[in-house]
Structure 1
Amino acid sequence: MKGQEWYQEHDIAEAYDDKRFSRGGRFIDRREKEAVLDALSPVDEKRILEVACGTGRFTVTLADRGADIVGVDISEAMLEQGRMKARAAGVDGAIEFMQADAGRLPFPDDCFDSVFAMRFFHLAPDPEGFMAELRRVSKGQVFFDTFKRYSTRSIYNWALPMGSRLYSEREVRELLVGADLELVDASHDFVVPYGFYRQVPGWIASPFRALDTAVGRSPIGDHLASVSYWEAHVPG
């Protein structure tokens, strides 16, 4: 996995949420949680796996809505942040956090109703292998996001400490076909790339997000977007 050593540092884990999802980054957090909830709901009593759960942003949100959820991540430091967040929210009894390699998930086939991975495939060195593993442990749904190859994302891609893999729609569809998954829904967002939102205060980010959303809803919005959300189902 790209940047694995960097990602597992304790100081990175401790500052992760504040660095990415405060200030203008709150708009990123809000949209990503909306995408996950729209795709997975209703989640009450549903058995869900989050791969690369990081600090538990989504894991805790879903547990609070009644999901029976497991979060796995390669970084023990990130998982500890997730455990603290779950305790603070009073949902630690509904979540199991496990350190695991996403390429060798420690679960039997068809173990979960839904499996999802956010902020994952842009770092994956073997996307085909990882997608096959998500498919293996899901008996129903796989949900994930990617960064678009032909978008504003490419402008600052070189500056990211871990690097970032970008995908065209054709490449995503080929990943799904290779894993025996059927695409059932796709949506696209963020004409203005994430990097901008993270760098500015909320009062500057707010009007930009309003404009970004308006452009995204226009006929050219999907072509200009830098982020894609994909929902796929196991055939049959």
Structure 2
Amino acid sequence: MKGQEWYQADAVAEEYDTKRFSRGGRLIDEREKQAVIDAVAPVEGKRVLEIACGTGRFTVMLAERGADITGIDISAAMLQQGRERAHRTGVADHLQFIRGDAARLPFPDDHFDSVFAMRFFHLADTPASFLSEMCRVSRDQVFFDTFNSVSLRTVYNWLLPMGSRLYSESEVLRLLHGAGLRLDDESHDFVLPYGFYRAIPNDVARRFRDLDVSLGDSPAGALASVSYWDARVE
């Protein structure tokens, strides 16, 4: 994985949410959470695994909604932030955080109803192996997002500390087929890339977000920087 040492640093974990989801980044947080809820619903009682759960944004959110959820991440520092979040929201007894490697998931086959990963595949050096593991431990659903190779994200990708792996739709479809997954649904968003939103105040960002959504419904939507992929185990 790209940037493993950077990602596991205490200072990075402590500032991760603040740097990415303050200012206009709040809109990104809202959209990503809605994407996960829409994909996994109905949530209550469902056994769910989050890959690369980080600070527990989604793990805690789904626990609050009644999911039987486990979050796995390679970073002890990130997991500590997640545990603190779970305690603050009163769901620490309703979820599990595990330190582990997404390439070798410590679960039996077909153990979860749904397995998902957000903000993960752009760092994956061997995406096929990760996706195969996600498929192995899921009996039904695999959900994840990617950053797109034909998008405005390419303009600033080289400025990022670790860069990002960018995917075409055809590559994602090949990966799904190779993992034994069938694409059930897809959606594409954020013609204006994440970095733009994080650079401006939230009230200004909301006006641009309205424009962004409109662009998504036009031919310019083909330049969306983010895609959400909802697949089923074949």
TM-score range, shorter chain: over 0.9
2:143 is paired with a residue of what secondary structure? strand
Encode CA deviations 1:151-174: one digit per residue, 9 max, x unaligned: 001011011112200000000000
- TM-score when normalising by structure 1: 0.98
Sequence identity, in percent? 65
2:121 is paired with a residue of what secondary structure? coil
Give yes or no for contact 2:215–2:221 (8 Å, CA) kept in 1: no
Name the Cα RMSD after superposition: 0.7
What does residue 226 of structure 2 align with? Answer: 227
2:103 is paired with a residue of what secondary structure? coil
Unaligned runs of 5+ in 1: none
Question: 2:154 aligned with 1:154, yes or no?
Answer: yes
What does residue 3 of structure 2 align with? Answer: 3
Note the C-alpha offset of 1:222: 3.4
1:140 is paired with a residue of what secondary structure? strand
Supply the distance in 2 between the matched residues of 1:75 and 1:53 (Cα, whole angstroms). Answer: 9
What does residue 26 of structure 1 align with? Answer: 26
1:87 is paired with a residue of what secondary structure? helix
Count of residues paired in the alignment: 234
Supply the distance in 2 between the matched residues of 1:56 and 1:162 (Cα, whole angstroms). Answer: 22
What does residue 114 of structure 1 align with? Answer: 114
Which amino acid in the other structure matches residue 165 of structure 1? R
Give yes or no for contact 2:47–2:112 (8 Å, CA) kept in 1: yes
Note the C-alpha offset of 1:211: 0.3
Which amino acid in the other structure matches residue 183 of structure 2? L
Supply the distance in 2 between the matched residues of 1:153 and 1:3 (Cα, whole angstroms). Answer: 19
Structure 1 segments of 4+ aligned residues over 2 angstroms from their partners = none
Give yes or no for contact 2:8–2:74 (8 Å, CA) kept in 1: yes
Note the C-alpha offset of 1:221: 4.4
Which amino acid in the other structure matches residue 168 of structure 2? S
Output aligned runs, 1:5-84, within 5 Å.
5-84=5-84
- TM-score when normalising by structure 2: 0.99
Supply the distance in 2 between the matched residues of 1:20 and 1:61 (Cα, whole angstroms). Answer: 18
